[in-house]
Structure formats: C-alpha cells, structure tokens
Amino acid sequence: MPALEERGESGKRESVAVMRSDLFLLGVLILLEVLVFAPFVGKIGFYLDDWTMVSLLHGGPQDIGGAFANYFFNDPKVIIRPVEVLHFGLLYLIFGTRPLGYHLVNGFFEICVCALLYFALKRFTGSRFLAFASTAAFILYPIRDSTHYWILCSSVSLSLALYLGSLILSLKGLDEKRIGLYTAAAVPFAISLFNYEVFMPFACVSALCVLLMSLRSQGVAGSIRQAIYSFIPLFVSALALFGYQRFIVPRLGIGFLHKVEFDPGQVLHVIAAGAGISNIFSALPFFQEQVSILLMHPLSTGEVLSLAVILAVSALTSFILLTAEAGSVPLRTMAELAIVGVVSIVTSLAIFGLNNQYEPTLLTLVNRIFTGASLGWCLIFSSLAMLAARLFFRKVANIEARKITVILISGLLSFACLYFTLVNWQLASPWVVSQRAQQDVIYLVRKMRGKIAHPDALLLTDFPRYVMWSPIFDGTWDFQSMVRIVLNDPKIRGGVVCDRLVVGKDEIKDISVGYTCASYPLKNIKVFVPGRNELISVTSPQHFVEIARANSKKSELSADTLTKWQNQADALRPAISKGAE
C-alpha cells in the first residue's frame, strides 16, 4: 500500500509539472498575441458590413428578444447563420456603437484559438515543440489580417475555436476508447458551422487525425473504422446546416446564399492559386514590401521593447523545447503533422472554389479565406523545423555541437517571429488610418443634425473610399448605416459617389454587378464634400454631374465614369425639357 500511494503521489506531481509546463507555454503564446495585436485594439473601428450590423441593431427594438428577432429576420446573411444572432446581438447589447468592446472580444476568441490549437496538437503529436511552434506560427503568419481587425470576421475566430474544441473531443474519444465522445464532438462542430460554415471541410481533417493516431497502435481496418466513427457525427452536422439553409430558411425569410456550383476546374484553380499565393516563398515579396514601408519611420521605444521581448522569449522557448525533443520525436509524427497540414490547405481552399466570387489574394477584403491554409502552412513549417533539428542531432555526436545547432535553429525561428511581427504591424496601419478618416467624417456629419433628415439622401464625395486595402466608406452598407446611427434617423438614405452610380431622370442608382444596392430620388439628394464641409442640394442630373466633376480628385473618379455620367445626363435632357413644358 505505501508503494502504491508513493506511485500515486509521484504521478500527481508529474501531472502537475506537465500542466505547469503547458500553462507556461500557453502564457508565452498569449504574450505573442498581445504584443503583436493589442497595440491596435483601441485604434480601429467598424468597417463595411460592421456598420450594417450595428445600424440594424441600433435602429431596431432594444430589448433582447426584439433585438435578436429584428437582426435575425432582417439580415439575409445572418438568417442563414443563426449563431451570429447570439454572437453579434449580445455584443451589441453590451457594447452598443463603441467598437472597442467588439475588438476585445475578438482578441479573446483568438486567445481561445491559441489554447485549443496548442492542446489539440500536443494531444495529436505528443510534442510540445510541434504544438508550440505551430501555434506561434499561426498567430504570427501575416496572410489574414482581416480576421484580426474586421469585426464581422470575428466569426472566423469563433468558428475555428469551436472546431478545435470538436477536434480535441474526437482525439480524446480515440485515446480513451469512448465512441460517445465522437458524438459529443459534433456539438461544437455544429455550432461552428451554424456560426460560419467555412470550417465544414475540416471534418475530413478530424477524421484524418483520428486515422493517423489510430494507425500508431492498431491495424488499418480498425483505424479506418475509428476514422469513420469520428466522421459520421460531423457529417450529420454538415447535413443539418444544409437542410436548415435550403429548406427552413425560405420559410423564415430572405436568406443570402452563394450559388454553389461544383466545377472541378474552378475548385482546382482556387486550391492551386490559394496555395501558390499563401506559401511563404510567394508571399515574401509582399511581406518585404510591408516591412520596408514600416521601417521608413523610426520605431517607437515601446515597439523596440516589444520586439526585444518577442525575440528573447521565442528564442529561449524554442531552445528549451528543441533541446528536450530534437532527438526523440519520431519522423513519423513529423510526417503525419505535415500531411494534416497539406489536407488543411487543400480542404479549406476547396470550399471557396464552389463559386467564382472568391479569388485568392493577400489583400484584406477576402484574405480571411486563408485562415485554414495559414493553419496548414504552420503545421508544415513546424514539422520542417523539427526535422532540421533532428537531422543535425543524428549527424552530430558532440554535445556542444548539438547545442550550437539548437541555438542556430532557435535563432532562426525567433527571427521569423520578429519579421512576421513587423509585417503584421504594417498591415494594421491602413485599418488605423481608415478609422481616423472615418472619425473626421463622423464629426462633420454629427454637426449636420437638424440640417438633414429623412427623406434626404446624403451622398459622400471627394473623399477616399479606401486606405490601401482597408475600407473607409464604400457605399450604402457603411456610409448610410453610419449616418443613421450618428443622426439617430433610421430612415435617412446615404451613399458614396463612385463608379457604380447610374444617373437617371428622377433618381440615381447604385448598381453593383447587376444588383441595385440603393436608389436615391434626385430631388432629395444632398452631396456632402467633407474637405470644405459643404452640403450641396442637387437640382438636376446635369447638376449632379457638374458637382461630381468639380469634386472628383479624392474620390478617384475616372474620366470614363465622368464621361459616362455626362452622356447619361445629356440623353435625359429632351425628356426633362418635355416634362417641364
């Protein structure tokens, strides 16, 4: 009995030591997240559809039931993803029209992703280094800045956290031989899909992880059986989303669904283009451009200190972990992790190949599609780093030489962390500048209270629509929503003078890809010129063209657009003259 008690106490001490090590590493990962992204949380705001979401909730009922129902039934993109009602509805009830709280919550979601990814990878690989390096790389790899700064993209972080929780349950089910945990894994997976369906293909990643883990201890037939057991509940969750969107949503209201077309050529194109653009070798010129722009101005003392901490912490942590594991992690484990990385890249991009509206790009508006690919590349990256350390350990017998090898690899990894941090800091700049520009316009609009009201239509002109790739005010979805909130007028119309506009006899329409986004009655239009704080009432189509021509520099209106509008106005003159007679 004393021997058993001693072994029990020893096991407890070992378990506590393991947990302490894991919590320390998790603390380092959270520190990286905070040092890289926290400096911008208070400097960014609402963008594009963020304004639509806040405006819809602001202009509707303020009680919790009424607010949720109004948001659910009146946003075509939300009715197909009902968890977003709880997600953004609760955030609005807590934070209202102040963006800081929304961004803090998104930061919390990203920290949850860090924790869940680390523990999922540690369970899958048994290696702290592989889990730590993969998670650190995922935090820092700068190909998806929209998920950090665009509030609606916080759905990506929330859905990924839920998926990772599902993955941990699936792996735990295999470890503990409890098939019921496979079913339990379907719960967070289903919530993830009903929040944002982008991680649906990762059901295959979960099944692959179960298969590879099972093959370590049992035969092929049994392993395939375990993978199928783990996959079926996730597949049922995906079928539930399909049934909801296709059969239930039409009975509830209007839902915005992308037209799904299985074109193998398009799917392969998106996979190839996405993998080609998102890998580090192709992205390096883009990264270098961002670093060069950032370093055109001296770094602040705080930034230099942050870089020093990132460099020191990442180097020391990598050195400790590599020293402990470089000679012990099996090649098979590295290969398995790399395979999961490849499958993550392919499957995550494949879903965006089901329609032709998502062309892979590193620019902000759609680079959220690289979230899954980013994860995949980071798994491959950590596998290669461990492989390099292992090969050197096998070739070098001298302990001092091994230590130097580990120092060199750790130094290289820490330099990568520092370099990616610089890229991320520069990628944040357009979002910060956009927020400043928005605040200037918001200040001037607020001063118009009493001068404009429904049924007026306020059109913004001679003002940039974007800073680099970050939107300022692009159209009715953001500018009109902002005006309604600031003036507390839920019916006033608003828009931006841009090349989408079509000039008519009695109205001006905003038409994008054949879809009429908004119509502005000519008699109600007032053009707002922020640079001169001027409000101009439009009297005729010709007058609108004259105003636009005189205020087109900052709006970046092309000569072709102005000529098109002039021709449209000239063609309307006979009808206008006849109507006047």
Averaged pLDDT for residues 368-387: 95
pTM of this structure: 0.93
Q: Which of 414, 397, 388, 398 is nearest to 329 (CA)?
A: 388
Tokens of 475: 């159209």
Beta carbons within 8 Å of 185's beta carbon, 6+ residues apart: 166, 167, 169, 170, 173, 206, 230, 233, 234
Q: What is the mean pLDDT of residues 64-77?
A: 90
**R_g (Cα) of the chain, nearest Å:** 27
Q: How far apart are CA 580 and CA 559, in angstroms?
A: 30
Tell me the pLDDT tens digit for each residue of 76-85.
889 999 999 9
Q: pLDDT at residue 576 above 90?
A: no
Q: pLDDT grade, residue 396 (50/70/90)?
A: low
Q: Which of 171, 234, 163 is nearest to 196 (CA)?
A: 163
- Residue 200, SS3? coil
The answer to whether 437 touches 464, Cβ cutoff 8 Å, is yes
Identify whether the C-beta of residue 372 lies closer than 8 Å to the C-beta of residue 348: yes
Express as a percent the part of the chain with pLDDT over 70.
95
Give the tens place of pLDDT for each residue, 95-105: 999 999 999 99
Q: What angle do CA 283, 284, 288 make, to 5 degrees?
A: 125
Q: What is the DSSP string of 384-418?
A: HHHHHHHHHHHH---HHHHHHHHHHHHHHHHHHHH
- pLDDT one-digit tens code per residue, 33-64: 999 999 999 999 999 999 999 999 999 888 88
User: For tokens 């302490």, what's the residue?
Assistant: 20
- Structural tokens at position 202: 């990762």
User: Strand 525-529 relative to strand 457-460: parallel, antiparallel, unpaired?
Assistant: parallel
Higher pLDDT, 6 or 86: 86
pLDDT over 80 at 1, yes or no: no
Strand, coil or helix: 165: helix
d(CA 384, CA 378): 10
Tell me, what's the pLDDT at 277? 94
- pLDDT exceeds 70 at position 10: no
- Written as one letter, the residue type at 164 is L
Report, as an integer, the average pLDDT of 182-210: 97
Q: Give, as one character, the DSSP assignment of residue 510.
A: E
pLDDT digits (tens, 9 = 90+) for 494-519: 999 999 999 998 999 999 878 888 99
pLDDT class of 577 with cuts at 50, 70, 90 = low
Is residue 570 predicted with pLDDT exceeding 60? yes
DSSP 8-state secondary structure symbol assigned to residue 488: T
Q: How many CA atoms lie within 13 A of 89 on its CB side?
A: 25
Percent of the chain with pLDDT over 90: 77
